[in-house]
């Protein structure tokens, strides 16, 4: 059975609850970013159905930011691991180049890698993060693109594409993309405190 290395930057805290017991928290910003993306996508669908356009647009923007936060966290971690296959590439490379290099390595092993193209999605992410800014070439950024091109279908398709790509990549590098925080909390509770009344935070 192969062992998958969990991603780092996952924080587990153990605190007294003030009543003689303990509270255990298993936190991961990378994991939460993916869960946040799914949450905002779900609420955007409801807002769209209810005709709440402004609320839907707000949720779509939040969902897009969370989706790319998760993608970057996983890709950056793969580079941080300093895997021998990636040592020849620079850590300062853009997300586009990092995903391209990772893809080249996996495809060279004759492994089928799902198609990924987040160019338009990343453009919209950048507009949200830097509204009314300018491109590297000094051109004005047209923020209207967000309202014209970002919709529920676009965000959902982008999320599925990124998920399928990350699943294969993480499988290849033997990295656990998501942490089972409920299981970890339960294991720690049982080992340290013999307390079965644990819950996921």
Helix (H, G, I), strand (E, B) or coil at 136: coil
pLDDT tens per residue across span 54-76: 999 999 999 999 999 999 999 98
Give the pair of three-digit tokens for residue 145: 């693109």
Q: Check whether 166 has a pLDDT greater than 90.
A: yes
Q: Which residues of 68-99 are buried (b: 16+ CB within 10 A; e: fewer)?
A: bbbbbbbbbbbbeeeeebbeebeeeeeeeebb
Mean pLDDT of 120-124: 90
Measuring CA to CA, which residue among 118, 113, 35 is closest to residue 70?
A: 35
- Per residue, the 3-state secondary structure of 140-185, as one string, reads ECCCHHHHHHCCHHHHHHHHHHHHHHHHHHHHHHCEECCCCHHHHH
Q: Check whether 1 has a pLDDT greater than 50.
A: no
Q: What angle do CA 189, 192, 195 make, to 5 degrees?
A: 40
Mean pLDDT of 181-189: 55
């Amino acid at each position: 059975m192969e062992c998958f290395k969990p991603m780092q930057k996952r924080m587990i805290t153990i605190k007294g609850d003030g009543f003689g017991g303990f509270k255990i928290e298993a936190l991961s910003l990378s994991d939460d970013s993916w869960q946040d993306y799914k949450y905002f996508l779900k609420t955007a669908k409801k807002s769209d159905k209810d005709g709440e356009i402004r609320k839907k647009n707000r949720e779509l923007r939040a969902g897009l930011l969370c989706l790319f936060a998760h993608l970057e966290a996983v890709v950056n971690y793969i580079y941080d691991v300093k895997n021998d296959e990636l040592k020849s590439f620079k850590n300062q490379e853009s997300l586009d180049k990092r995903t391209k290099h990772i893809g080249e390595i996996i495809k060279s092993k004759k492994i089928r890698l799902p198609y990924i193209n987040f160019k338009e999605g990343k453009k919209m992410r950048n507009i949200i993060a830097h509204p009314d800014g300018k491109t590297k070439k000094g051109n004005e950024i047209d923020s209207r693109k967000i309202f014209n091109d970002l919709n529920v279908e676009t965000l959902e398709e982008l999320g599925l594409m990124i998920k399928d790509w990350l699943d294969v990549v993480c499988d290849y590098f033997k990295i656990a993309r998501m942490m089972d925080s409920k299981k970890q909390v339960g294991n720690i509770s049982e080992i340290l405190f013999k307390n079965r009344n644990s819950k996921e935070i």
